[in-house]
Amino acid sequence: MIKKDVVIIGAGASGMMCAIESGKRGRSVLVIDHADKIGKKIRISGGGSCNFTNINTHSTNFISNNPHFCKSALSRFAPRDFISLLEKHGVKYEERDPGQLFCQGSAEEIIRMLEKESNNAAVEIILNCHIMDVKKEDSFIISTDHGIFESESLVIATGALSYPQIGASGMGHNIAKQFGLKVTELKPALVPFIFSRTDSLIFSELSGISIDGTIKCNKMEFRGSILFTHRGLSGPAILQISSYWKDGDTIVIDLLPGIDILGIFIERQLNKSKIDMHNLLSEFLPSRLSKIWCASNIQSKPVNQYNEKERKTIANQLHNWEIKPNTTEDFKTAEATLGGIDTKELSSKTMEAKSVKGLYFTGEVIDVTGQLGGYNLHWAWASGFVAGQYA
């Protein structure tokens, strides 16, 4: 039996951050992971250049049954703190969309930085390590195919269910349940929608078309790129709203945000324009979309032949196009998981389970899910950082 002060299960973003901080305090730390490399999700994040934080990070960018839970960790490890770490290691970064920071090079540089920091903090890492059993006697006993480890503190940093193809598993939730902690409902988040059968027949030929739109559902609204796929809708605005969508909800898309299309109809009417509606709309939308949208929503005819009521109805439909998705895609394509360890079970200051001394949870395994834009990784860094001060 090998004894350590701290065993961390999961060498992802939050586990590595926790290991570094705990190691810096002089604790003997072992990180174990069933994957063959550390930080596999970091490596593929942000399309390979890792949107590692967002300088506008605020608790309102997170979804949780308790929206206040994340506040303490976010205030103690702010985007500036992660940026300082990058600057110390000479990792170059840039702001892309407002607030979203990406590596100028590749996500690999962040992984190398975490490796260096963990080496400096004398953290030991065992990869390809499969956990067979976890139990608590006086201390935690972790049985693996690399031997049995005993530790005073156990940190569960196994992430959640999204992207099982690179090692995501439900182990963290199962360990929580084993120790009697509640886990809230788990659902794919930041995930594409799948059309209903009828919409699929109509819109699947638009696959590959992308527009700038605004999308609304359950009092949330996002503007950005909307991509038609062969199965449904994707793109940043869709991924954002998917985290707020519930089964049976309708989403409302403004196909022409910021464009006074009714004013344009009236102007063309005054000019006695005989252009067909779908041709007119092709001036603002991809022509294939305009054609199919008109065919499925209105009767396309020359613009000067619509009466005032019809013009208003069409303008309203274009700004409020209603779609009822059948469902979302599953965890294989979801960038995050909604739900997780019930925050009522944890201290927001330390991430330690209130009912099990020495048992900590960090990152995505907790019921805290960020919006798209660097928030999920920031939550991983921040929750790992605070747990590392106590574990």
Ligand X SMILES: Cc1cc2nc3c(=O)[nH]c(=O)nc-3n(C[C@H](O)[C@H](O)[C@H](O)COP(=O)(O)OP(=O)(O)OC[C@H]3O[C@@H](n4cnc5c(N)ncnc54)[C@H](O)[C@@H]3O)c2cc1C
What residues numbered 138-157 form the site for ligand X, per CB under 6 A?
A: 157
Cβ atoms of 35 and 167 within 8 Å: the answer is yes
187 binds ligand X (CB under 6 A): no
Closer Cβ to ligand X, 203 or 379, answer by number: 379
Beta carbon of residue 239, minimum distance to ligand X (angstroms, whole number): 10
15 makes contact with ligand X (CB under 6 A): yes
CB of 260 to ligand X, least distance (A): 35
**Does residue 265 contact residue 303 with C-beta atoms inside 8 Å?**
yes
Residue 75 CB coordination number (10 Å): 11
Question: Closest CB to ligand X among 135 and 324?
Answer: 135
Give the list of residues 6+ apart from residue 241 with CB closer than 8 angstroms, or none.
215, 216, 217, 220, 222, 251
| x-or-dash string of contact with ligand X, 368-387, rule CB under 6 A | ------xxxx--x-------
Question: Which of 50, 86, 121, 353 is the binder for ligand X (CB under 6 A)?
Answer: 50
Asked if residues 238 and 255 have their Cβ atoms less than 8 Å apart, the reply is no
Q: Contact at 8 Å (CB) between 83 and 57?
A: no
Find the binder of ligand X among 23, 46, 188, 388 (CB under 6 A): 46
> Do 237 and 201 meet the contact criterion of CB atoms below 8 Å apart?
no
Which is closer to ligand X, CB of 46 or CB of 325?
46
- Alpha-carbon Rg of the chain, whole angstroms? 25
Minimum CB separation of residue 248 from ligand X in Å reads: 26
CA 281 to chain centre: 34
Question: Which position among 162, 243, 300, 343 is part of the footprint of ligand X (CB under 6 A)?
Answer: 162
Residue 183 interacts with ligand X (CB under 6 A): yes or no = no
Angle (CA) 355 360 366, round 5°:
95
DSSP string, 298-360: S---BGGG--HHHHHHHHHHHHSEEE--SEE--TTT-SEEE--B-GGGB-TTT-BBSSSTTEE
Count Cβ atoms within 10 A of the Cβ of residue 310 and give its class: 0-12 exposed, 13-18 middle, 19 or more buried: middle
Nearer to ligand X, 280 or 341 (CB): 341
Residue 244: CB minimum distance to ligand X, A: 17
Binding segment (CB under 6 A) for ligand X, from list 167-175, 254-262, 287-295, 347-355: 167-175
Of 93, 364, 368, 387, the residue at the interface with ligand X (CB under 6 A) is 364
How far apart, in Å, do the first and last CA atoms of the chain sit? 20
- 167 lies in the site for ligand X, by CB under 6 A: yes
Cβ-closest residue to ligand X?
12
Q: Does 342 bind ligand X (CB under 6 A)?
A: no
Residues 75-104 that bind ligand X (CB under 6 A): none
Q: Which of 55, 141, 171, 262 binds ligand X (CB under 6 A)?
A: 171
Nearby residues of 348 by Cβ (< 8 Å), 6 or more positions away: 68, 69, 70, 71, 72, 73
Under the rule (CB under 6 A), what is the footprint of ligand X?
Answer: 9-15, 33-35, 40-41, 44-46, 50-51, 131, 157-159, 162-163, 167-169, 171, 335-336, 363-365, 374-377, 380
